[in-house]
Chains A and B, each alone.
Chain A
Amino acid sequence: MDLLLDGFATALTPTNLLFAVIGVLLGTAVGVLPGIGPAMTVALLLPVTYSVEPSSALIMFAGIYYGGMYGGSTTSILLNTPGESSSVVTALEGNKMAKNGRAAQALATAAIGSFIAGTIGTVLLVILAPNIADLVVKLGAPSYFAIMLLALFAVTAVLGSSKLRGFVALFLGLAIGLIGTTTGQARLTFGEAKLADGIDIVIVAVAIFAIGEALWVAAHLRRKPLDIIPVGQPWMSKSDWGRSWKPWLRGTAFGFPFGALPAGGAEVPTFLSYITERRLTKHPEEFGKGAIEGVAGPEAANNASAAGTLVPLLAIGLPTTATAAVILVAMQNYGLQPGPQFLDANPKLVWGLLASLFIANTLLLVINLPLAPVWAKLLQIPRPYLYAGILFFASLGAYSVNFDAFDLALLGVIGVLGLAMRRFGLPVLPLIIGVILGPRIEDQLTQALAISQGDVATLWSEPVAVVVYIVMALLLVGTVVAGRRAGAVQPDPENQNKQEVSA
């Protein structure tokens, strides 16, 4: 505890605070650009931190990191153009809220949720880092396969009113996810090297959300009168708070463990959180039209997962995501080498870093909460100009992933798919989940089977996998029983008799 206070003492000098503020602003400014996620933001701005002394650099870096993450959510909510894979889910409800004139609330619940999740995550990190690290390496491909399968199973909850349309969207997503190289062989790449790594999820999401939407609006612009987006209240109301705090906590509970798992990542917990909130909400009618729970939960999950990522990084020197790899490089440049003895050998620096993360997180909240209503005014721009701006940002985002015109062509093609999905009433979430989960499930399966040399029994060879399969079986039984009960209310004589007999 004293060490943490020492950490705060070094981080809280006026100069360092100024660097933290600059870091947060720079990080947010660059992170707002779609297509530039936290990893790229940190990599781009890292050289800026080299020119100041290490303790200032560390805190500036923490600011850039959190700012970059928050910037991605801002564009998700305002422009429907997520800047990174982990804020894709935020766009679902967040942008709908913005259209209802509740952009400020969406931004606020995202900022506060991120703050709470980041804080809890940092505390958990402090407590758990030394102990949890040995456990997470025990999980192998079979366990991850089981967990991903469970996540895919959860998708059935969001297929929408028409199961058929839901499955069509899911399989479209899985098909897009098939593109790329597996085990050294190209698949569905049509001989194009630029497709060899598959299609970046940011491009798919921006195309489906932003381009599809802009085309849809353009197709209806003349028929519908211009509706002005209402300004609304600038702050979160009491009921907003009431509806947000539980999703914040639940999102944190999803995000942290997934972040700490070497193959966990931030995407799966964000949509698990979304699905859970959709199930538990008292306002199911608002989902799909701008439910605040659907922003609060995933945003908290996203940030908690980022804190979780630091567990394997600090405890065993394992970078598990691209962002973590960049952080590792940054720390090495500041003379820190994370690894098994890191926590014991450099207490001062580690606690300095944790204090910096905490301060950066606080500053982010302080700076961004008052800015939320300012950002929200952006949406009062007349619609033709607003959509021109959205298209500009979407294209810029897709282009800046690789600086390649090819990605713009992809953006156009998938954008037309997005328009078609709106025309035929296909839900977009199953597609996005398919694109994210498909390749990961396949990777884990091929890896498990390659290690076992084709022996399928390997899939239930790890205890975690067995537990997950049991949970899945229970859920399945639960769903079937619930479905039967619901069916039994409708008097279907034959069915009812059977049930009585079996009971």
Chain B
Amino acid sequence: MTSRRWSRALALALAAVLVATVSACGVTRGGDDPDNRRLRMMIPNSPGGGYDLTGRAAAQAMEQEDLTGRFEINNVIGASGTVAMQRLLNEEGAEDVMLLMGLGVVGAVFTNKSDATVDKATPIAGLVAEAEGILVPADSPFQTLDDLVEAWQADPSSITVGGGSSPGGPDHLFPMQLAQTVGIDPNDVNYISYDGGGPLTTALLGEKIDVGMSGLGEFAGQIDSGELRVLAVSGAERLETVDAPTLREGGVDMEFLNWRGILAPPGISDKARQELVDLVTEMHGTPEWEEALERNGWIDNFMVGEEFEEFLIEQNDRVESTLKELGLA
């Protein structure tokens, strides 16, 4: 066989496999059914992150249960979500698009001094929430939340606090609001920003920082093995998976939740809005979603309508005031 024939045969085989695979994907969904609208979802961060997990889990639950046609998922990366937020506002009146967002996006919009604040969009639904945890390495002198708070109050800047988000993100907002609550000027907090949970874990295990603040999902292995210790969790209730007191039980009167939800562009019709709300409500009832909540250790934070709208405005104001005090907004 000449090399020319060879290549032709190979090219044909390649094309055949591709076509077969692509069409196999096509027939599994009733995408051409007029009842099944095609929707777009924007994710404000890179693949593999918390927003991405939540968004893809929600989209998958909707697709699997045939609540809608296929989702076109798009990671709009930039400025911790500010770019995605701006993009959503630019899509004014578009009734087929939603943005998965959360507390971090609310903060990023302020730190990036953008006008694209979340109160301008159409709120659809709150989905999940995650408690933050206060983590120290196994050899840390801090055994309880009290130990930490005492040392922190005595000399605020001597304690290095690491978090997995840039300023304005949940891991940054949490220590700042915690400092405010225990009477420390947030401007004195020595916050070190790491690029996500992975590098933060490394810094904690290598004892480069004194304490880490982050959602606990990415630390499960280290917590189980005893390499990291959780001093407290930030939610109203203890977590099933982690043996640690809440802030209130530890003597600090505050609660903090990192939440994620869905927004639609401004200027969509009430009918379209209601359709999206109904769709997400239906999604919330599926076993798929139930399973995703459990698998990822997310707290069910489902809310729609006025409840979510008020929640969004309250969060927006609170974040703005914290960041203003730090001179970041």
Contact = CB atoms under 8 A, between A and B. Distances in A.
Interface of A: 21-22, 25-26, 29, 39-40, 42-43, 47-48, 50-51, 136-141, 181, 183-184, 186, 191, 193-194, 196-197, 234, 262-263, 312, 316-320, 322, 324-326, 328-329, 332, 337-342, 370-371, 373-374, 377, 401-404, 447, 450-451, 453
Nearest to B225: A340
Interface stretch (B42-50, B141-149, B275-283): B42-50
A137 B209 contact: no
A340 B222 contact: yes
Given A319-B48, A322-B48, A371 B10 contact: yes
A339 B198 contact: no
Interface string B57-90: 0001000000000000011111110110011000
B74 A137 contact: no
Contacts of B21: 22, 25-26, 48
Nearest to B296: A332
Given A39-B46, A184-B166, A325-B48, A341 B224 contact: yes
B47 A43 contact: yes
Interface stretch (B120-128, B199-207, B310-318): B199-207
B23 interface: no
B206 A139 contact: yes
A25 B75 CA distance: 24
Given A22-B21, A181-B166, A140 B206 contact: yes
Nearest to A28: B14
B31 interface: no
Nearest to A330: B48
Nearest to B109: A193
Given A194-B78, A322-B46, 8 more contacts: A43-B48, A137-B202, A140-B208, A193-B116, A318-B201, A332-B295, A339-B220, A451-B190
B221 A22 contact: no
B263 to A, nearest CB: 17
A263 B199 contact: yes
Contacts of A140: 203, 206, 208
Nearest to A43: B47
A262 B227 contact: no
Contacts of B157: 453
Given A184-B328, A316-B205, A318-B198, A402 B76 contact: yes
Interface centre among B17, B167, B202, B220 (most CB of A within 10 A): B202
Contacts, number: 165
7 pairs of A and B residues whose beta carbons are closest in the complex: A339-B221, A325-B48, A43-B47, A196-B79, A184-B167, A137-B206, A137-B205
A316 B222 contact: yes
A197 B52 CA distance: 18
Interface of B: 3, 6-7, 10-11, 14, 17-18, 21, 25, 28, 46-49, 52-53, 56, 60, 74-80, 82-83, 86-87, 111-114, 116, 157, 160, 166-168, 190, 192-193, 196-199, 201-203, 205-206, 208-209, 218, 220-222, 224-225, 227, 295, 328
Contacts of B25: 48
A373 B190 contact: no
B60 A47 contact: yes
A327 B56 CA distance: 15
Contacts of A43: 47-48, 52, 75
Contact of A339 (B3, B80, B87, B224): B224
Interface centre among B47, B196, B197 (most CB of A within 10 A): B47
A374 B10 contact: yes
Given A139-B206, A374-B11, A22 B17 contact: yes
A39 B48 contact: yes
A140 B218 CA distance: 20
A136 B60 CA distance: 37
A374 B8 CA distance: 8
B196 A325 contact: yes
Contact of B201 (A50, A316, A332, A402): A316
Given A316-B205, A319-B48, A337-B220, A25 B14 contact: yes
Given A339-B225, A453-B190, A193 B48 contact: no
A193 B198 contact: no
Given A29-B18, A39-B48, A47-B60, A262 B79 contact: no
A22 B222 CA distance: 36
A449 to B, nearest CB: 10
30 contacts: A25-B14, A40-B75, A43-B48, A48-B25, A193-B116, A196-B80, A197-B77, A262-B199, A263-B199, A316-B201, A316-B222, A317-B221, A319-B196, A320-B199, A320-B202, A324-B198, A325-B196, A329-B52, A338-B221, A339-B221, A339-B225, A340-B225, A342-B221, A377-B7, A402-B77, A403-B76, A447-B192, A451-B190, A451-B208, A451-B209
A447 B168 CA distance: 18
B86 A340 contact: no
B179 to A, nearest CB: 16
Contacts of A197: 77-79
B14 A328 contact: no
A196 B14 contact: no
B111 A184 contact: yes
Nearest to B20: A22
Given A186-B112, A337-B221, A450-B192, A25 B18 contact: yes
Nearest to A41: B47
Contacts of B86: 193
